[in-house]
A and B are shown apart, each in its own frame.
Chain A
Amino acid sequence: MTALLSLRDVHVRFSTAAGVVRAVNGVSLDVATGETLGLVGESGCGKSTLGKAILRLVPIASGAILVEGVDIAPLERAQLIKIRRNVQMIFQDPYGSLNPRSTIGRSVAQPLLVAGWSSAAAAKRVDELLQRVGLPLDARERYPHEFSGGQRQRIGVARALALSPKLIICDEPVSALDVSVRAQVINLLEDLKAQFGVSYLFISHDLSVVEHIADRVAVMYLGTVVEIGGRDQIWRDPQHPYTKALLEAAPIANPKAARARRRTLLQGELPSAIDPPSGCPFHSRCPIVQDRCRVERPQLRTVSGGAVAACHFA
């Protein structure tokens, strides 16, 4: 069976005054139908850029992006529109991603109208969607500023769902929300997945949220995937030293567990993506670095226990 989404050696580069930023540097991964793939990493690791690349919202330098087997990287705009029906996106800032001068009804109807729906059919669909995401029907006539952050994120979800996509890219969808509201939105996303079989690429820096929602997890560092595996494998038996460090650094909402655990704190901070380290991108912070790591870049490979990691010593 072909995967719903397949990335093959995707590169994204930005030219800046300071030099070329290699934001995404050779990423390959698959998302299966009905699956949630969590994409985690720290700021600047390229996870959001990768999410945008899948929708062709940033230029692709090289590589293939296969949506149901069709490579969308070389497609023209007119052909892209058809593909985008199947792949939608939810953004971090639900306020910034809604037109402040457009009613909620218009914002949610827009993807439908672009896809050629009649306005009557679109209006009916909007009512259905608003109800499904738990918003009052009178929301249709109101404007974004009249809603709270959590409600705005529900609007974003309704809009992404409008064309019944197969894959939704969620870029930090709950990071701007308060704890109690965050749980509401996570539950909504899980309900929608159960009901419609939609797949998610769930991009987040919050490991505990990803652990809760993802089936599989890919860990990114400096534009590359350093480890990818099932959620349980990643949490119980991480193979890459960066994955280990990330998990050990994440706060645990349980004081006794937090005190009991041993952890080795990573030193230093993320190197620049303009001038990435030679060899393994992680070698400058790695606690088990060897000479080989400074010259030879490790490839993703199957290591012990079936995990897939890019480390010479995993």
Chain B
Amino acid sequence: MAAPLEVRDLRTTLFTRRGEMPAVDGLSLTVGAGETVALVGESGCGKSLSALSIMRLLPDPPARIVGGSVLLNGRDLVTLSEEAMLKIRGQEIGMVFQDPLSSLNPVATVERQIAEVLMAHTDLSRSQARRRALELLEQVGTPDAARRLDAYPHQLSGGMCQRVMIACAIACHPSVLIADEPTTALDVTVQAQVLGLLEHLQVDSGMAMIFITHDLGVVAEIADRVVVMYAGRKVEEAPVDDLFEAPLHPYTAGLIAATPVPGAQRAQRLADIPGMVPPLNALPTGCAFAPRCKRVMDVCWKEKPELTQPAPGRMVACFAAEKDAA
């Protein structure tokens, strides 16, 4: 069976006064049914713009898809009209954003927000939609769900708002869910609840999930496979255990070493990565990570490394890793 979501060589460029910036530079990824792929990287690496590109929600201007395809159940979203996309969003592909309070409509009750999704995509009547909204609220673990139906977002906590967002996103049983830093704004005890909820919903429904985060701890908790991005490009892809045990790209290795693991033998110092992410309008000619890389070689300054496949299921774009594999 074909994977529900297949992104091929996606390119999204920001057209600004300071020039064209390749925010997403040839991203390919596949997410199978029931699979969670984490998209990891630091601010500005293009992970959120990748998600917005897939959903066709880019702010245009300045951002535009300039190449590649996004196949959702075999249909290319990049070439679809906005009208057709309206039918697909919420129906076949759902999205949960970082800040639930600002993604919900502040002047609509919880019931109306969920019912709106249902009535846009199904022929449920108002009262049927209300009943289904209640079921959904219960399904996402809202205590006292019947009473919450009439609440407004500002009357709910952050965790509760995120549950409502998730209820909206899964209302029509989408085959793909994109979650962009869905727990970053939440406290750890609530984060654990929401991560548990997403996993649980996925097991029940077999949704494919893209989970965007900068937090390697969250990646370890939820991902099956991980795609690491740096400056708009995928630099490594691996099953989650392999990635943490034997990262191939020096950037991935640096991120893991820079993340303290509680309970582990405490090192005197954290291994940091010197310098910072280069701005997209001043990317080096060669590998974008070269200026910060411990293993930099001459070739890294001249050429961009292509993705190679050193082992089944693993990909890396790095000359040093290529040398190791040879």
- On A, residues with C-beta under 8 Å from B are 42-43, 148, 150-151, 178-184, 186-187, 190, 205, 207-209, 211-212, 235, 245-258, 263, 265-270
B141 to chain A: closest CB distance in Å? 9
In the complex, which residues of chain B have a beta carbon less than 8 angstroms from the beta carbon of A186?
270
Give 8 A-B contacts (CB < 8 Å), ordered by A residue. A178-B43, A180-B292, A187-B270, A212-B260, A249-B188, A251-B218, A253-B261, A269-B189
Q: Does B258 contact A (CB under 8 A)?
A: yes
Task: State which of B63-71, B105-113, B120-128, B191-199 sits at the interface with chain A.
Answer: B191-199
Verify B272–A251 contact, CB threshold 8 A: no
Q: Does B271 contact A (CB under 8 A)?
A: yes
Q: Does B244 contact A (CB under 8 A)?
A: yes
B195 to chain A: closest CB distance in Å? 8
Known contacts: A186-B270, A265-B196, A269-B159. The answer to whether A43 contacts B260 by CB under 8 A is no
Known contacts: A256-B241, A265-B193. The answer to whether A246 contacts B188 by CB under 8 A is yes
- On B, residues with C-beta under 8 Å from A are 42-43, 143, 157, 159-160, 187-193, 195-196, 214-221, 223, 240-241, 244, 254-256, 258-264, 266, 269-274, 276-277, 292
Verify B271–A183 contact, CB threshold 8 A: yes
Complex-state Cα separation, A187 to B268, whole angstroms = 9
Known contacts: A180-B254, A251-B221. The answer to whether A270 contacts B187 by CB under 8 A is yes
Verify A179–B188 contact, CB threshold 8 A: no
Complex partner residue of B261 from A43, A254, A265, A268, CB under 8 angstroms: A254
A200 to chain B: closest CB distance in Å? 16
Known contacts: A250-B217, A253-B259, A254-B244. The answer to whether A183 contacts B270 by CB under 8 A is yes
Complex-state Cα separation, A268 to B192, whole angstroms = 12
Complex partner residue of B272 from A187, A245, A248, A255, CB under 8 angstroms: A187
In the complex, which residues of chain A have a beta carbon less than 8 angstroms from the beta carbon of B258?
179-180, 182-183
Known contacts: A251-B191, A254-B220, A256-B241. The answer to whether A187 contacts B269 by CB under 8 A is yes
Q: Please provide the 3 A-B residue pairs with the shortest distance between their CB atoms, ordered closest to farther.
A: A251-B217, A180-B273, A183-B272
Known contacts: A179-B255, A208-B260. The answer to whether A253 contacts B187 by CB under 8 A is no
In the complex, which residues of chain A have a beta carbon less than 8 angstroms from the beta carbon of B192?
248-249, 251, 263, 265-266
In the complex, which residues of chain B have a beta carbon less than 8 angstroms from the beta carbon of A266?
189, 192-193
In the complex, which residues of chain B have a beta carbon less than 8 angstroms from the beta carbon of A208?
217, 259-262
In the complex, which residues of chain B have a beta carbon less than 8 angstroms from the beta carbon of A190?
269
A38 to chain B: closest CB distance in Å? 12
Verify A207–B262 contact, CB threshold 8 A: yes
- Nearest neighbor of A231 in chain B, beta-carbon distance: B266
Verify A255–B262 contact, CB threshold 8 A: no
In the complex, which residues of chain A have a beta carbon less than 8 angstroms from the beta carbon of B159?
269
Complex partner residue of B276 from A181, A247, A265, CB under 8 angstroms: A181
Complex-state Cα separation, A207 to B214, whole angstroms = 16
Verify A247–B220 contact, CB threshold 8 A: no
In the complex, which residues of chain A have a beta carbon less than 8 angstroms from the beta carbon of B276?
148, 150-151, 178, 180-181
- Nearest neighbor of A42 in chain B, beta-carbon distance: B187
Most buried by B among A42, A207, A211, A253: A253
Verify A251–B220 contact, CB threshold 8 A: yes
Verify B263–A180 contact, CB threshold 8 A: no
Verify B261–A178 contact, CB threshold 8 A: no
In the complex, which residues of chain B have a beta carbon less than 8 angstroms from the beta carbon of A182?
258
Complex-state Cα separation, A266 to B271, whole angstroms = 33
Most buried by B among A150, A151, A178, A265: A178
In the complex, which residues of chain B have a beta carbon less than 8 angstroms from the beta carbon of A181?
42, 272-273, 276
Complex-state Cα separation, A164 to B179, whole angstroms = 45
Complex partner residue of A180 from B143, B215, B260, B272, CB under 8 angstroms: B272
Complex partner residue of B189 from A178, A212, A245, A255, CB under 8 angstroms: A245
Verify A235–B262 contact, CB threshold 8 A: yes
Apart from A211-B260, A211-B263, A250-B262: 10 A-B pairs, beta carbons within 8 A? A178-B214, A179-B214, A186-B270, A207-B262, A208-B260, A253-B216, A255-B240, A257-B261, A258-B221, A269-B157
B36 to chain A: closest CB distance in Å? 12
In the complex, which residues of chain B have a beta carbon less than 8 angstroms from the beta carbon of A43?
187
A312 to chain B: closest CB distance in Å? 21
Verify A184–B274 contact, CB threshold 8 A: yes
In the complex, which residues of chain B have a beta carbon less than 8 angstroms from the beta carbon of A248?
192
In the complex, which residues of chain A have a beta carbon less than 8 angstroms from the beta carbon of B274?
184
Verify A207–B188 contact, CB threshold 8 A: yes
Complex-state Cα separation, A181 to B143, whole angstroms = 39
